[in-house]
Structures are given as C-alpha cells and as structure tokens.
Amino acid sequence: PYDVLVVGGGPAGASAAIYAARKGIRTGIVAERFGGQILDTASIENFISVKHTEGPKLAASLEEHVKEYNVDVMNLQRAKRLEKKDFIEIELENGAVLKSKTVILSTGARWRNVGVPGENEFKNKGVAYCPHCDGPLFAGKHVAVIGGGNSGIEAAIDLAGIVKHVTVLEFNPELKADSVLQDRLNSLPNVTVLKNVQTTEITGTDKVNGISYVERDTGAAQHIELAGVFVQIGLVPNTDWLAETVERNRIGEIIVDNHGSTNIPGVFAAGDCTNNPYKQIIISMGSGANAALGSFDYLIRN
Ligand code: FAD
C-alpha cells in the first residue's frame, strides 16, 4: 500500500504529493487530468513571485516538479469510490483498486457555465469566472456580472472599484445575496442591477463586445455593449463520487479542519474541493502542503 495517495492532480494535489514524497514515504497521485483548472487558464498574474505566467506553462512546471521525486503518477485515471477498510481503498474507473494508509482528496471544482452562445468561444477573451484573477484586466472598461447571489454581488462590488461600470444580470425577480451586500452594492455609483432578465448570448468578434438578454416580464430583447462578462452562478466541487463517505457541506465541499483532516481518520482534503472559502492557486498549493503535513503527522502517530 501507499503511505499517501493523492487523488487529484491540480495545484493542491501536486503540492501535497511533493510535500509527502519529501518525507521519504511511499506516495502516489491519481489525476483525471494532471494540471487541473489551470490548464484552462490563460494569463496568471497573482501567483506570488511569478509576475506573469500562463496556465499550461504552470501545469508543465507542476508536473516537472512532481517528477523530480519518487512519486507514482497515474494520469488520466478517474477515482470512482472511496472505502475505509484496513487501508483506505480508492477504486478507479478502470476497475483497479489502490490501497493507502492515508488519502488526500484534491479533486478541485468547476465553475457552473451559463450555457449561452459565446460563453465557450470567448473564454479568456472577455468571459471570465474569477474577479480576483481577471478583474484588473478590465480596468476602466464596462463589464457585466451574471448572477445575483453572494458570489455575484461580491464580484460586482469588487469589480466596481476597478472597472468603469458594472451591470449585474439576475434571472430571478430579486437578488439572493445577503442584504448587507445588496446595501453596499446599491451605495455604489457605477453599478446597474437588472433583475428578472435572462442572458441569451455573449457577443463578440475576436473578443467580447456585448451581452444580449431578454426582460422576462415584457419579453423585450436588449443588448449592452461591454468588454467583459463575469459568470458567477456557482462553483461546483468535484465530490459527487464520494457518495455517502466523506462529510461535506450543503454545496458539496469537503469539510476539513486546520490540519486538512476530514471526518474519516486518515482521509485528508485540500484545495477547491474543500470548504476553504477562497479558491486560488496559491491557496490550493498551501492547503495541499498543509494536508500532506497533516497526513504525515497522522502516519507517525498511528
Ligand atoms: P483543480 O485545479 O480543479 O484540480 C483538480 C484535479 O483533480 C484535476 O487534476 C482533476 O482532473 C482531478 N480530478 C477531479 N475529479 C477526479 C476524480 N474523480 N478522480 C481523479 N482525479 C480527479 N486562480 C488563481 O490563483 N489565479 C488565476 O489567475 C486564476 N485564473 C483562473 C482562470 C480560470 C478560467 C479558472 C477556471 C480558474 C482560475 N483560477 C485562478 C482558480 C484556480 O485555477 C484554482 O483555484 C486551482 O486550480 C484549484 O486547484 P485544485 O488543485 O484545488 O483543483
């Protein structure tokens, strides 16, 4: 069996695998797609100490760094079941069962898409999902935020301090965000809130130039010219496969303590799949290191 088996090969998993391997213990990493979300990221400017990089380049560096160590890398393999017996068992989609004394879950998350024409075409060309990452790219420009829940309104408040104007589009007749956030939003001079509207298309040529929507009460079709669209309708953790095993919160995030431990002894978790509130590369790497040290601590005590 492994001492540490990491499930997920994004920034959190790569960091966990390196920290574990550096303890000289038997380490494996299973990843459906080594690199994770950063493979879909163009420009990265907030990975501290690296002024600018690109997602695929950072993913290649992660892989190169992991391969410096004695780590079994099992790429293009999807985990489908976790069970605690004498060891913790991870069953893969291909039927293989891996056994380990500890497991670190780092299966990440994915942004929920609005699914309108233009969203895929203009990803990284005006369609964005992370205001902390991409907000500064739109300084002085007009942007839209799709979604009036807490994350949408937080994004709109954040962006209003950077961009020229923010238009919020909410499908329902009312915003779902906490009233303190709504009050803050309403106090800002450069924000317009459109409620009861359905986004129908993100328009553009080589990059985004506008958004089309329908007013749901009148049926009237409208179009606004703008440079960016932030989609904020939810981040979904990749944790369905855990079924009734590891404890999760209402939105499916794995609940961890400050050692990265879950409710199952020997099972740890790190990165975007956990209830850690902020989802960023640097934070995921930190939590991967934390979970690896947590699992090492567990191994020397058990
Ligand atoms: P992920 O990167 O999601 O990796 C999860 C890993 O688990 C992948 O290898 C995946 O294939 C694997 N996996 C999932 N399910 C299974 C399974 N069942 N079995 C086996 N493997 C599985 N953050 C920043 O800090 N700066 C930025 O500029 C930035 N820009 C972004 C732009 C975009 C378009 C997106 C989508 C995200 C961006 N982020 C940015 C967020 C950042 O990418 C994430 O916070 C970070 O990648 C999370 O790392 P993670 O390792 O927790 O998860």
Task: Give the residues surrounding ligand 1 with Cβ less than 6 Å away.
Answer: 7-13, 30-34, 36-38, 40-41, 44, 46, 78-79, 106-109, 111, 129-130, 133, 238, 241, 271-272, 279-282, 284
Tokens of 196: 């009861």
Can you name the CATH fold of 2-110+235-301?
FAD/NAD(P)-binding domain (3.50.50)
> Do residues 7 and 32 lie in contact, with contact meaning Cβ atoms separated by under 8 Å?
no
Q: Ligand 1 centroid to 281 CA: how many Å?
A: 8
Mode of pairing for the β-strands spanning 97-105 and 88-92:
antiparallel
Residue 247 and residue 10: Cα distance in Å, rounded? Answer: 22
Would you call 200 exposed, middle or buried from its count of C-beta atoms within 10 A (0-12, 13-18, 19+)? middle
Q: Which of 18, 41, 233, 235 to mutate to test the pocket of ligand 1 (most atoms within 8 A of CB)?
A: 41
Q: What is the pLDDT of residue 42?
A: 86
Q: What is the pLDDT of residue 241?
A: 97
Q: What is the pLDDT of residue 269?
A: 99
Q: What is the pLDDT of residue 178?
A: 96
Taking CA atoms only, the protein residue closest to ligand 1 atom 53 is: 108
Matching CATH topology for 2-110+235-301 and 127-231?
yes
Q: Tell which CATH architecture fits domain 127-231.
A: 3-Layer(bba) Sandwich (3.50)
Domains of the chain, by residue range, sit at 2-110+235-301, 127-231
What contacts 107, CB < 8 A, 6 or more positions away? 7, 8, 79, 237, 238, 239, 241, 273
Tokens of 34: 């080594």
With a cut of 50, which residues of the chain have pLDDT below it? none
Helix axes 55-67, 11-21, angle to 10 degrees: 20
**Which of 48, 11, 38 lies closest to 130, judged by CA?**
38
**What digits encode the pLDDT tens for the residues 239-287?**
999 999 999 999 999 999 999 999 999 999 999 999 999 999 999 999 9
The pTM (predicted TM-score) of the whole model is: 0.94
Q: What is the pLDDT of residue 225?
A: 98
Q: Ligand 1 centroid to 213 CA: how many Å?
A: 30
ipTM: 0.99
Atom number, ligand 1, closest to the C-alpha of residue 134: 28
